[in-house]
């Protein structure tokens, strides 16, 4: 499935293969200093439990720190990431959890096979014209009523990131989007957005978290 990647997918994979170890080192304890994100994850975990439990896909899981946090909250979470090096780090740091290499543009999951899905700051490198494909994949693998949690950078611009996480070279565009834009895209893809949280509005990296459900 991943052997013929090109364009932005190939750039994203190779960039995160390069920075995987440094990225994991910087993000390992990141949630400890993010009470609002922890609250969002706790609410998401409650939604999963209210839906009866079951497998939850953390799509774009990186080094697996959010996947592991969800497991601590009692969620049967597993991680998927485009970068094989990131998956290697995730398996190293969390050997009891399940991690797989995969692309959110073509998830290797059966229809309606996960109870819920999370994409926490993993849509930021997806160009606008690929968002319908990604959201279509999310809808396909969720059942009707299945919870979806998205986190992303807020703004109007896209910029090329050429270096990061320990000074290593990267070649990825970072896309910032307004919550109303993402909400409209989700609606078009068959989701209902139930709530949005805005984060760090006066800071240098404002963000948003959207809680949604798949419509029948």
> Running DSSP on this structure, what letter comes out for residue 30?
G
With a CB cutoff of 8 Å and minimum separation 6, the contacts of 126 are 8, 104, 134, 175
What are the pLDDT digits (tens) for 35-60?
Answer: 999 999 999 999 999 999 999 999 99
- pTM of the predicted structure, to 2 decimals: 0.94
Q: What is the mean pLDDT of the chain?
A: 94
Domain boundaries along the sequence of the chain: 7-214
CATH number corresponding to 7-214:
3.40.50.150
Rounded CA separation 187/193 (Å): 7
- What's the confidence (pLDDT) of residue 35? 95
**1 pLDDT more than 50:** no
The pLDDT of residue 108 is above 70: yes
pLDDT digits (tens, 9 = 90+) for 138-192: 999 999 999 999 999 999 999 999 987 777 888 999 999 999 999 999 999 999 9
CA distance readout (Å), 69 to 41, 78, 132: 8, 11, 28
């Amino acid at each position: 499935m991943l052997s013929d990647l090109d364009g932005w997918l190939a750039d994203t994979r190779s960039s995160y293969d390069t920075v995987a170890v440094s990225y994991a080192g910087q993000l390992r304890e990141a949630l400890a200093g993010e009470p609002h994100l922890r609250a969002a994850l706790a609410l998401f975990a409650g939604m999963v439990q209210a839906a009866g439990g079951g497998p939850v896909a953390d799509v774009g899981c990186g080094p697996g720190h959010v996947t592991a946090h969800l497991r601590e909250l009692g969620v049967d979470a597993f991680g998927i990431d485009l970068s094989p090096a990131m998956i290697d780090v995730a398996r190293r740091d969390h050997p009891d959890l399940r991690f797989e290499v995969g692309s959110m543009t073509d998830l290797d999951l059966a229809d309606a096979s996960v109870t819920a899905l999370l994409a926490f700051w993993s849509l930021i490198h997806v160009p606008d014209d690929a968002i319908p494909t990604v959201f279509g994949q999310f809808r396909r693998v969720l059942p009707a009523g299945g919870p979806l949690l998205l986190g992303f950078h807020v703004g109007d611009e896209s910029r090329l990131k050429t270096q990061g996480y320990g000074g290593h070279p990267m070649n990825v565009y970072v896309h910032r989007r307004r919550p109303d834009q993402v909400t409209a895209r989700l609606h078009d893809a068959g989701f209902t957005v139930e709530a949005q949280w805005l984060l760090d509005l006066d800071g240098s990296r404002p963000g948003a978290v959207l809680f949604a459900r798949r419509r029948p």
